[in-house]
Chains A and B, each alone.
Chain A
Amino acid sequence: MGFFDRLKEGLSRTRQNLVQKVEELVTGRQHIDEELYEELEEVLISADVGAEMALEMVERLRKKVKEQKISDPSELKNLLQQEIVALLGQEAVPVKIEQKPTVVLVVGVNGVGKTTTIAKLAHRWKSEGRKVLLAAGDTFRAAAIDQLEIWGQRVGVDVIRHQEGSDPGAVAYDAAQAAISRGVDILIVDTAGRLHNKNHLMSELSKVGRVLDRALPGAPHEILLVLDATTGQNAVTQARLFGEAVGVSGLVLTKLDGTAKGGVILAIQGELSVPVKFIGIGEAMDDLRVFEPQQFAKALFGQEETGE
């Protein structure tokens, strides 16, 4: 299966939930009326776009329809695609690997898939020929260190670990030192899942950031917030509060395959200007993809990839 087809397959559920519903909505309609707008709004809400964002998007569509004097309902699908691309941005925003070592801090609430994402990132960068080191910074959850260690063995990268219950800042510091002395290209630091409304846990996270900066000025160079695509409107709050605590530089949207709706990403883009950098579309190692807005929108709308 081709690269793009895999993406299309991974997004099939989201497509069913969003684009196909829009298609069903517009086919057989003669004109664009209030009822159609209302139903469109509901489709968006059902895809977790959020009530306010959905209202806003429909409002913009309404305006465009008026301006461009559109009367054919099927045109709405294209307009919607344009809207989504406009929200998501045109170009992919890659993780910059310029420093040596580049330190990537991975954060998020419990159960979003941080450790798995780290394994996939390590795999990706290792297969690009880079030297990767992992830091087992989740010293809280039972067996989280072992989980990362097993992934490390599978991927074939070293893991810096302390005991369960130890200070995650100390792990981060040691890992940064080790990364320097071993001449590593990329250090990925795992952290314990934490709910963003627990102040003391969030300040622990900012401390990890400060410790990294002390060990290696400028680090962490990239702070990735992992979001579960099944999450509803709370994801917006997560993005905002993690951003305030540690300054998130990119988002990773996991579990987009299968169950996901992932529409919340539009709400986040409307609210904050943090780019999506990776998306997880399956369980296989290669299923963590660099997020390319154009390609994503095409796959979402079930179009063929041109020029590949």
Chain B
Amino acid sequence: MAMFESLAEKLQSTFKKLRGKGKVSEADVAEAMREVRMALLAADVNLKVVKNFVAKVKERAIGQEVLDSLTPGQQVVKVVHEELVALMGGTSSKINMSQKPPTVIMLVGLQGAGKTTSVSKLALYLRKQGRKPLMAACDVYRPAAVKQLQVLGNQLDIPVFSMGTGVNPVDIARGAMENAIATGRDTLLLDTAGRLHINEELMGELKNIKSTVKPHEILLVVDAMTGQDAVNVAETFHEQLGLDGVILTKLDGDARGGAALSVKAVTGCPIKFVGLGEKAEALEPFHPDRMASRILGMGDVLTLIEKAQASMDTQMARDMEQKLRKAEFNFEDFLVQMQQMKKMGPIDQILGMLPGMGNMKALKDVQVDDKEMKHIEAIILSMTQEERQNPQLIKDSRKRRIARGSGTSVQQVNNLLKTFDQSRKLMKQFSDMRGGGKKGKNKAKGMFKMPFFK
């Protein structure tokens, strides 16, 4: 159904038509822009933002620059991409750290946006950077919110300051500040209760917290699934409190995240982090250029490489790259890769970062959860070395043996063999797709190049 196609798919199909042409007429551009408009609206991008965006792109696309270039179709895609990046705020932003500790970070937002989870994720993220975070439970309204933060603090071994629920949040914030100083914590994260931006009483409470502890950083937590109202919420919070940035949550869902496009454009507040999953590690800095590439289905190769670098040693990465390129990897490599990938995060996310994956229908529903990974590992471990290097050997009786050995079924073994074969073909496609790109900032690790970007 057309309505459920992703923005990337829609733009891609629109521009596929354009890319085939040598010359783009005004009518072509107008046609493409209509589809861009519909796609952006379906992605919940704010209507006003869409209008400005489309007007801007149209102007640039119809102008000289495009019509005179050799490949006008690509040129239009480039313009859309550039404008998307510009819309989302250019480069990524960091947390303002105070010279004089503790740095105070306050998270605010509507109910259910994911503040408490984000507080713990951000605390973990900052600890990994060598900070000493303290989390403070200032949500005294939602039942068990304090307990939730305490449990998370326990799991992550990060201290939590709380005074129960019978105390004014302003006093809790003040107490937390004193506690941070006394215990030598250099970063204080305040979890606040969810509230409607039009609730004057509760907004007043936030203002009081602000004037009491003077946070260096006030971050608005926004659900990526939010509709047209996202900008109003952000605008009101910004007017009342003066926001320094936004955390966009639940981006691991299939919402097209139009909120991301809108919020910065309307409030001027940069999106600093995105939440990408239920695990505590699933918080990443926001990169507008990568997000734009992702929206346009060009893959998020930079994040992938960064992730790979963070979790693999360089030699391994180089080997893997070689093998992927030549499409000659076998089950032994697969096993090594799997173990490495486990460190990188959920496979579906990794796949989503690969260029061209956005529109490969077959891969859309690929989801590997941890249990399945274990099964796969067991199956491979039940193969002989010869079989691992030479999967073609595996016929019926071997399949039965492997299934018995791994405690799985022949069907599961078959599935794995099939998936393996498919992914090998896929890798081959990638390496064929490569070439000609000069945009890569990361030349040393040019694993995959943008499929159509010059």
Contact = CB atoms under 8 A, between A and B. Distances in A.
A48 to B, nearest CB: 4
Contacts of B2: 52
Contact of A231 (B199, B227, B232, B369): B227
A151 B143 contact: yes
Interface in B243-287: 250, 252-256, 258-259, 278
B172 interface: no
Contact of A195 (B142, B198, B229, B253): B253
Nearest to A282: B196
Contacts of B253: 109, 195-197, 234
A167 interface: no
Interface in A28-81: 42, 45-48, 50-52
Interface residues of B, number: 53
B227 A233 contact: yes
Nearest to B225: A234
Interface string A135-153: 0000011111011011100
B42 interface: yes
Contact of A234 (B112, B145, B233, B256): B256
- Size category of the A interface is 35 or more
Contacts of A110: 112, 114, 250
Interface in B300-338: none
Contacts of A141: 148
A147 B151 CA distance: 13
B21 interface: no
Contact of B199 (A47, A147, A258): A258
A113 interface: yes
Interface in A146-190: 146-147, 149-151, 154, 164
13 contacts: A13-B198, A46-B47, A48-B227, A52-B3, A109-B225, A113-B112, A142-B147, A146-B147, A154-B143, A195-B250, A231-B223, A232-B227, A237-B4
Interface of B: 2-4, 37-38, 41-44, 47, 110-114, 142-145, 147-152, 155, 196-199, 223, 225-230, 232-233, 250, 252-256, 258-259, 278, 365, 367, 369, 371-372
Given A231-B223, A234-B225, 7 more contacts: A146-B143, A147-B144, A164-B151, A230-B227, A231-B225, A237-B254, A271-B3
Q: What 9 pairs across the A-B complex have the smallest Cβ distances?
A: A232-B227, A111-B112, A232-B44, A143-B148, A142-B151, A150-B143, A147-B144, A258-B196, A146-B144
